[in-house]
Structure 1
Amino acid sequence: MTLFVSHSSQDKAAIQNLLKALRDARQHVWVDETLGGGDAWWRTILEQIRGCDVFVYALSNNSMASKPCQAELRYAEALRRPILPVQVGPVDSMRLTPLAETQVIDYRNPNVDSGIQLIEAVHELKEKLEPLPSPLPEEPPVPFAYLMRLGNTLADPELSARQQAELVSELKVGLHEDGADPAARRDIARLLAKLRDRPDVTYQARNNIDALLKSVDEEPSTEAAAPVATPGAPAEPESGAVPAAGSDAAPPHAPKVGKRHRPRARLLIAGGAGLAVLIAIVVAAVVLLRPKPGPATLSLESILLSDAEINSIAGTSNMAKTPDNQGKTFKDVSKAVDVSPRWCMGVLYPGADLTYEDSGEKELDWAALEDSGGWVRAGEGNHHFVDQAVAAFPTRDQALDFVRRSANEWAACDGKTVTATYLDNGRAYTWILDNLTGHAPQITQMYRQQGERPSYACQRVLQAASSYVIDVKVCGDHITDQGSVIAAKMAVKVPKSAGPKF
């Protein structure tokens, strides 16, 4: 009679009390403590899940963010194994977990009562054990299998520039999606370093790898990975921390804005004449030292074209934007669309999170226009669609470098057939990509819909203008170079002398 304990590798310390309590109650516990990775490791785990009497899920933010834990949980549910969720760490929202309707035992601070509750729940669930379904459900794939595949590719004696670009792009996607998992993050870093140190690595690939490795060295920016304060234990303020909003206190060692500190001087002033001279000096100082107003901060929205301008260029009359299809942050495309191959997402979607995250951009604004003003996706009928975005970077060089890196990623998709499947309704759209044209500061790429309407196409344009990046997609029948025209008109609105003010 076996209990399978599913847990995140980040919770090894947190589950020790749970394991001890189960073993002290003479329960046979199986937990992945010594196995490595790969096919054999995953086959052993799945075999243990099939043979267990109770599937114990060590619930925490870490396990909810873990691909292996989620795959194990779904497989146990498909096998009709009794599931016992035991909370061992913080959970941001229990309602958003797949176990929201299941009673959870809180074992973060174990005591006699929670120990009794735990063992009673184990015995009750064992009595509810059902036979395995026949036929057995499909086995989940090995988590992070793509890393093993990429490792095998890196073992090849020669890699073309295109192969290197594909490797970098796929590892970038992996870092975005799996970077919160420490083991996956380490493996991605090792593969990137291995590619960078190859004698045949291209200059562009090495630059892109160095940028990715810099982000690997930083802490992953996910809520699951962020430290969570224990209830009842107030967090200690860090040295030099900025005070909370609304506080009148200034940060330690921070200069007060707008004031200049000068050494005190003793002035000996005699009579009215001396006072007049002093007043004159003070007035002159105020006039001379008053800060001159700088150039007004440019609104990114002012760079976007109006509905009338877009319709004129696209040869349409009724395209319009709505509040639902515009925004001031990059789009969470990776959470809404499954793109295959994944690294081609940036070619299909302007302003995408996977493209702009960790790019150095400081601000982004976008708007999409459609025939009816509603939300109908590109590729639906003969639907006209224009997506325009503009991103502000701190310097011209950073904007130009972003276009250069994107050119390398887009080129890795030359000639590929790419499928975009929307997760809300399962609709899939398949596109055939042409080759990349141009180079920084402007690149373009066409892609056409496969199947029913070969005349339906989209043009993507990415252009650096001063310290801004203009990001455009235009779709419809008989699209030629309308995207470049839109980008050029947007570039005219960018000030040539000064960059964005942050």
Structure 2
Amino acid sequence: MRRGRRRWATLGITAAATLAAGCGNAQESANSAALVPESALGDLLLSARDVQSMMNGAPLIPQPVDSGMDDNRNLLPNLNCLGVWHPGESAIYGGSDAGTWQAVRRQLLRAPGNDQWRSSVVQSVATYTSPDTARDFIAQSADRWAKCTNHTVNITLNDQRLPRWRSGDLDISPDHLRMPISRSAGAATSSCEHVISARANVVIDVLACAPGTLEVRQASQMADLIASHVPSAG
């Protein structure tokens, strides 16, 4: 009887170990399936029609989708404010070979003509190696953005001064940052909202600006809509 009990006990332990291993493999497969590949990034960007609708019908001309980061550190060397001022900056995200982001799709939509960028949207999505590394970027950005609240920036490009830029208070929630921004050039004023968030292994980065002094919330709405298209584990 004792030998039989030992044999059944051994079989039970083996079965439990096999079941645990199977569950672990299933979880790994589920997590891998939830990762967004580079090939799916372009589909996450909102259409020009969706963006215009969310911007209250403002006519916005979509520019070609860019597959690289931007680099404006020569205009704004203050890295704490650079990431607030403009989405998708290489000095903030780092190089794709540095083990951070893997791929990016970035697009500008702006009003026709020269309106000093008063009506514009920049949407950007970048994949990371894992959800944890995407969330780490949000945490790092929170530290930088916190050092650029209620800050005024004057930038000159080709001997011409760009609209004066002033940030507001930083709003932090889990995996989500929001900063209101105002731009002014003479009597012309525009209001902006910059939002970054993490969903699965994707960092979503949206800046929306509209003429006037009314608070802009469309960047949050766009970021949420993009996030709703990103699969998540569970």
TM-score range, shorter chain: 0.7 to 0.9
Normalised to the residue count of structure 2, the TM-score between the two structures is: 0.75
**Cα 1:313/1:453, change in 2 over 3 Å:** farther
Pick from 72, 81, 84: which aligns with 1:347?
Answer: 84
CA distance in 1, matches of 2:69, 2:176: 20
Cα deviation, residue 455, structure 1: 4.4
- CA positional deviation for 1:457: 1.3
Q: CA deviation at 1:496?
A: 1.2
Q: Distance in 2 between matches of 1:387 and 1:359?
A: 25
Map of 1:318 onto structure 2: 59
Query: What SS does structure 2 have at the residue aligned with 1:354?
Result: helix
Instruction: Note if contact 2:79-2:92 (Cα within 8 Å) is conserved in structure 1.
Output: no
Q: What is the aligned partner in structure 1 of residue 44 from structure 2?
A: 303
Partner of 1:140: none
Contact 1:318 1:371 (8 Å CA) reproduced: yes
Partner of 2:209: 475
Q: Which TM-score applies when normalising by structure 1?
A: 0.36
Summarize the Cα distance change of 1:314–1:466 in structure 2 as closer, same or farther, 3 Å threshold: same
Contact 1:365–1:390 at 8 Å: present in 2 too? Answer: yes
1:493 to 225, 229, 232: 229
Is contact 1:350-1:471 (8 Å) kept?
yes
Which whole-Å deviations, capped at 9, do the CAs of 1:105-127 have from their partners, x for residues lacking one? xxxxxxxxxxxxxxxxxxxxxxx
* Higher strand residue share: 2
Superposed displacement of residue 479, structure 1: 4.1
CA separation of 1:394 and 1:479: change in aligned 2, threshold 3 A: same
Alignment CA distance shift 1:305-1:453 (3 Å): farther
Contact residue 359 and residue 402 of structure 1 kept, 8 A = no
Match of 1:404 among 131, 139, 143: 139
Rounded to whole Å, the distance in 2 between the matches of 1:317 and 1:454 is 17
How far has the Cα of 1:450 moved from its partner?
Answer: 3.9
Aligned equivalent of 1:466: 200
Structure 2 distance, partners of 1:453, 1:306, is 32
Structure 2 stretches lacking a partner, 5+ long: 1-31
Match 1:330 to one of 69, 82, 87: 69
* Partners of 1:484 and 1:469 in 2: CA distance: 14
Cα deviations across residues 277-328 of structure 1 (Å, max 9, x unaligned)?
A: xxxxxxxxxxxxxxxxx969442111000000000101124212123xx300
Partner of 1:152: none
Which structure would you say has the larger Rg? 1
CA distance in structure 1 between the aligned counterparts of 2:204 and 2:85, rounded to whole angstroms:
15
Map 1:346-385 to 2 at 5 A.
346-357=83-94, 358=98, 360-372=100-112, 376=114, 380=116, 383-385=118-120
Deviation at 1:433, TM superposition (A): 1.0
Conserved 8 A contact 1:456-1:479:
no
Query: Could you say what secondary structure the match of 1:412 adopts?
Result: helix
Tell me: CA distance 1:479–1:361, structure 2 relative to 1, closer, same or farther (3 Å).
same
Deviations 1:142-177 (A, max 9, x none): xxxxxxxxxxxxxxxxxxxxxxxxxxxxxxxxxxxx
Structure 2: how far apart are the matches of 1:340 and 1:429? 17
Say if 1:458 and 1:475, in contact at 8 Å, map to a contact too: yes
Give deviations 1:115-141, integer Å, cap 9, x for gaps: xxxxxxxxxxxxxxxxxxxxxxxxxxx
Q: State whether residues 328 and 364 of structure 1, in contact with CA within 8 Å, keep that contact through their aligned partners in structure 2.
A: yes
- The one-letter code of the counterpart of 1:362 is Q
Equivalenced residue count is: 195
Retained in 2: the 8 A contact 1:403–1:440?
no
**Could you tell me which amino acid in structure 1 is paired with residue 105 of structure 2?**
D
Distance 1:385 1:395 in 2: 31
Which string of whole-angstrom CA distances, capped at 9 and with x for unpartnered residues, describes residues 381-409 of structure 1?
A: 7x310000001001111101100110110
3-state SS, counterpart of residue 101 of structure 2: coil
Contact preservation (8 Å) 2:209, 2:216: no
Report the Cα offset of residue 451 of structure 1.
5.4
Q: What whole-Å deviation, never above 9, does each CA across 1:239-272 have from its counterpart, x for those lacking one?
A: xxxxxxxxxxxxxxxxxxxxxxxxxxxxxxxxxx
Partner of 2:190: 456
1:172-202 per-residue CA deviation (whole Å, 9 max, x = no partner) reads xxxxxxxxxxxxxxxxxxxxxxxxxxxxxxx
